[in-house]
Amino acid sequence: MTKRSGSSPRPTAGRPDGSTNDQRLLDTRGPSDWVHTDPWRVLKIQAEFVEGFNDLAEIGPAISVFGSARTPAGHRSYEMGVKVGAALAQAGFAVITGGGPGAMEAANKGAAEAGGQSIGLGIELPWEASLNPYVTFGLNFRYFFVRKTMFVKYAQGYVVLPGGLGTLDELFEAMTLVQTQKITQFPIVLMGVEHWSGLIAWMRQSMLSDARIKESDLDMLTLTDDVDEVVDLMVKARDAR
């Protein structure tokens, strides 16, 4: 894992062949190399947890903001990310993102320009080489599952902007952790009513109607385009802790 403070980007890409540490750990093709290499990977994973816990332990109240890396600057979702990042920083929250481009960059930009803590938790990917320039403190992780633990452990809530598979992954993991009472008092806000309304409708029609989820599972989500509503919800959750 690499770490940086300030605005100069640091690389996150994997090996020259394009492979990543996650891929090499999880790929089961061919004979197992557990005896020779996997114990050492366990030590690398342990080190990532220790360093992440150490570096993030004192950041104070924080909100994790997710969204598509493919959101272009100037897009409505990008501008929404800038506004919510700034508003959260002004309310005294650190803003944590995946440190990449698009919606993540937008939230970091808003937080940094508002004078707040703008944190990026990067991941080793073949197509992303650096944290975005608005990250004021960044960590680069080799393993997705270590990074995802940091998003949950050090945040008091999630703001989810329009996104793709990675964004859905973070959203449903958070919902599962709340549903199973692994985390409590954890507001989850979906920003982008037009984008998310169809998903909510499908969950209600296909999952709730077949009793695969409960109404209380849907109640954990707040759907809004109102930045003030987002901040108010997060402040109330913080003050109730």
What is the domain partition of the chain in residue ranges?
2-8+20-25+34-239
Can you give the pLDDT at residue 11?
42
Distance CA 226, CA 106 (A): 16
Distance CA 239, CA 105 (A): 28
SS3 78: helix
Pick the CATH number of 2-8+20-25+34-239 from 3.30.70.1450, 3.20.20.70, 3.90.1300.10, 3.40.50.450: 3.40.50.450
Q: What DSSP string describes 79-99?
A: HHHHHHHHHHHHTT-EEEE-S
In this predicted structure, the answer to whether residue 10 has a pLDDT above a threshold of 60 is no
For 212-240, write each residue's pLDDT tens digit: 999 999 999 999 999 999 999 999 999 98
For 18-48, write each residue's pLDDT tens digit: 567 756 666 665 455 544 566 778 888 999 9
For 142-199, write each residue's pLDDT tens digit: 999 999 999 999 999 999 999 999 999 999 999 999 999 999 879 999 999 999 999 9
